[in-house]
Amino acid sequence: MIADTIFRKKLIDKKSLAEAGFTRSGDAWRLSKEILPGMFRANITAVPGGRVSGKVFDIDTGDEYLPLEVEGAVGKFTGRVRQAYTEFLEAIAAHFRDLPFENAQANRIAARATADFGVSPEQIFHRTEGAVFRNARNGRWFAAILKAKASVLKKPSADGRPEADGSRKPEQQLEILNLKIDPEDLDALLTEPGIYICWHMNKKQWISISLDDRAEDDRIMELMNRSYELVDHRGGRAARSRSGAPAAWVIPSKPAYYDVAQGFSDSPDGTITWHQRIGAKPGDDVFIYQTAPIAAITFRCEAVETDIPLRAPEHSSNRGMRLRLLERYPEDRWPRSFLNEHGIKVTVRGQRSLPDELYQIITASK
């Protein structure tokens, strides 16, 4: 459809619709204009946050001019109508802001990546649509959004062979996100909704995520944070694992929802169970970051048991870990401002590894 092509990467918002001359009609906005005076009229309908569609009608008969959208329809007259309609739509589209991607989730993730990492998507491909995000310090890719057919998205089957996801039509066009991962986390990640064997990149060190809301935005950003660290050369987990030392992680906790100190105090064995979305192993350090209004790391724990099956509805993951309290810090000891200066460039929104620089500072301090 001509309108779909012209508006596919445009932000359809109320302000721009009004500027373009649309008037509101219920939940939709409408615009009508003669594109060939006395001969043809175009009726355009738009939904804020949605799509723009249009039809062209013969003014004399009132019938829709169907050859307009028929790909094989040729001829001087049809071409004249199509050109007038296209120029009309392009004039309307000039009122709307350009978006980097077609899909709403792809644009949300791109906006969060820009806010969190200070980088914008780079359109570097010539033969395919897509963009990459680079680590600001070394220029290496940590994420790529690509357009591909649904048939490329595959999960391991019962016999271990890649198997296409049958929930979509194979020819359906999607925008997918490729992220770097720890290879040891691959099997667990592939059990999650919307996460697949990587397409177009290393299948052991990267994953593909379908940007059609099957995976939640917050979960995607957790994985993007980890991907950024893995290409940063300063990520804590990789460096410590090579030396045989335990890994270190940081996890967020909302004080309004859960009192961590009370949880440890009430526990008969001094441990608490936490949902697990990281590759933590027994013996690893787990630091708890309490979000606003505290906004600081306030607890250091040891993972005494990991990958525990969870079924309780209050947990947001189907696996958990049991934590033992090692140390409690004053709320002003490791605030967010300090974390931002020593390896965590954004707030702690999800479970992630603790940068080695920060780990060394915290553990060496008395």
Homologous superfamily in CATH for domain 236-364: ph1033 like domains (3.10.590.10)
**Domains 104-230 and 236-364 are alike in CATH topology:** no
- Tell me the pLDDT tens digit for each residue of 119-145: 889 887 766 778 999 887 777 889 999
- Tell me the pLDDT tens digit for each residue of 217-231: 999 999 998 898 888
Q: How far is CA 293 from CA 196, 254, 335, in A?
A: 37, 9, 11
Closest CA to 205 of 189, 222, 191, 194: 189
**For residues 120 and 110, what is the distance between their CA atoms, to the nearest angstrom?**
7
Mean pLDDT score, 184-193: 92
Q: Is the pLDDT of residue 244 over 60?
A: no
Q: What percent of the chain has pLDDT over 90?
A: 58
What pLDDT is stored for residue 115 in this prediction?
Answer: 86
What pLDDT is stored for residue 243 in this prediction?
Answer: 44
- Tell me the pLDDT tens digit for each residue of 4-32: 999 988 999 999 999 999 999 999 999 99
- Tell me the pLDDT tens digit for each residue of 304-333: 999 898 865 554 557 899 999 999 999 999
Q: Is the pLDDT of residue 366 over 60?
A: no
Q: Is the pLDDT of residue 57 over 70?
A: yes
What pLDDT is stored for residue 314 in this prediction?
Answer: 53
Q: Is-contact 230 355, C-beta < 8 A?
A: no
What pLDDT is stored for residue 127 in this prediction?
Answer: 64
What pLDDT is stored for residue 317 in this prediction?
Answer: 56
- Tell me the pLDDT tens digit for each residue of 280-292: 889 999 999 999 9
What pLDDT is stored for residue 74 in this prediction?
Answer: 73
Q: Is the pLDDT of residue 214 over 80?
A: yes
**For residues 222 and 238, what is the distance between their CA atoms, to the nearest angstrom?**
17
Least confident of 62-71, 210-219, 342-351: 342-351
Q: What is the mean pLDDT of the chain?
A: 88
Mean pLDDT score, 94-109: 92
What pLDDT is stored for residue 65 in this prediction?
Answer: 93
Least confident of 43-47, 58-62, 268-272, 316-320: 316-320
What pLDDT is stored for residue 346 in this prediction?
Answer: 75
What pLDDT is stored for residue 235 in this prediction?
Answer: 44
What pLDDT is stored for residue 242 in this prediction?
Answer: 43
CATH number corresponding to 104-230: 3.90.1150.30
Q: Is the pLDDT of residue 60 over 80?
A: yes
Where exactly are the structural domains of the chain? 2-98, 104-230, 236-364
**For residues 44 and 20, what is the distance between their CA atoms, to the nearest angstrom?**
11
